[in-house]
Amino acid sequence: MHTFHLLQGLALAPVLVTANILIYSPPSQPALTYSITIPDTTTATDSGPIYLQISAPTTLQWASLGQGTQMDSANIFILYAASATEVTLSPRSSMDGGQSQPEYNPLANLTLLPGSGIDNGRMIANIRCMNCLSAWPTLSSTNSSSEYTLDPNGTSTAWFWASKSGPPVNSSDPAADLAMHDDKGTMQLDLSLAQFTSAESLGVLYNPFLEGSIVIS
């Protein structure tokens, strides 16, 4: 995340956009929030970025968002502390049919955007994902990912989440060994509530969560 300071100028380019941000908070973890917003260019062309935010209290050791219905099916994002002020965002895929810890997947095309880090007892990851409309490729040819696809127009898209309470992981290793969840669940998100108009081209480090309007799911 240090490199963001060098590139900050890009993020300050005037992009006059108000994103519709869809927020989901698990009933059993009200302080944990997952947000999503999708540029209309992505929806129209079925390719391009989607934006995700995971915001978790530091009382959680890790918090995770999954695309699809279950562990074995697709793209998994895990957020944990790297230090007192920085976060690690670990993209993972299950390589054993969802039986154990998902493995770090370097083929996820993610950017951790400005505003990510730990402050005021919250871990925040603002994420731009360039290949989240389908299952990420995996390095293993034998245990390749599922047939997952995300419909950016979908009014009832499947997602899941999991979390583990406990002390901070304190690791910048995206392949850090994590203990199993102590809470988890599934949700359906109406992505028609998460669209925004991106008439101007969005900078690489554009963070829609800084200026969006909020819809609670």
Ligand X SMILES: *[C@@H]1O[C@H](CO)[C@@H](O)[C@H](O)[C@H]1NC(C)=O
Which residues in this chain contact ligand X in the complex, by CB under 6 A?
Answer: 43-44, 46, 84, 95-97, 109, 130, 140, 143, 152-153, 167-168, 170
| Residue 158, number of CB atoms within 10 A of its CB | 18
User: 148 with 160: CB under 8 angstroms?
Assistant: no
What are residue 131's phi and psi, to 5 degrees? -135, 50
Minimum CB–partner distance for residue 187 and ligand HEM (Å)? 10
How many residues does this entry show for the chain? 217
Give the nearer residue to ligand X in terms of CB position, either 101 or 109.
Answer: 109
Task: Return the beta strands (E) in the chain as ranges.
Answer: 20-24, 33-39, 50-57, 60-67, 76-81, 87-93, 103-104, 110-112, 117-119, 122-129, 157-165, 183-189, 195-196, 213-216
Minimum CB–partner distance for residue 118 and ligand X (Å)? 8
Which range of residues in 63-71, 113-121, 143-151, 209-217 is near ligand HEM by CB under 6 A? 63-71
Of 71-90, which residues contact ligand HEM (CB under 6 A)?
A: 71, 76, 78
Give the nearer residue to ligand X in terms of CB position, either 30 or 167.
Answer: 167
Of 183-212, which residues contact ligand HEM (CB under 6 A)?
A: 184
List CB contacts of 43: < 8 A, sequence separation 6 or more.
152, 153, 195
CA distance 65 to 128: 14
Question: 162 pairs with which residues across the strands?
Answer: 64, 184
25: contact with ligand HEM by CB under 6 A: no
CA distance 27 to 61: 18
Minimum CB–partner distance for residue 214 and ligand HEM (Å)? 23
Minimum CB–partner distance for residue 13 and ligand HEM (Å)? 34
Minimum CB–partner distance for residue 27 and ligand X (Å)? 29
Residues at the site binding ligand HEM, with contacts judged by CB under 6 A: 64, 66, 70-71, 76, 78, 98, 100-102, 160-162, 178, 180-181, 184
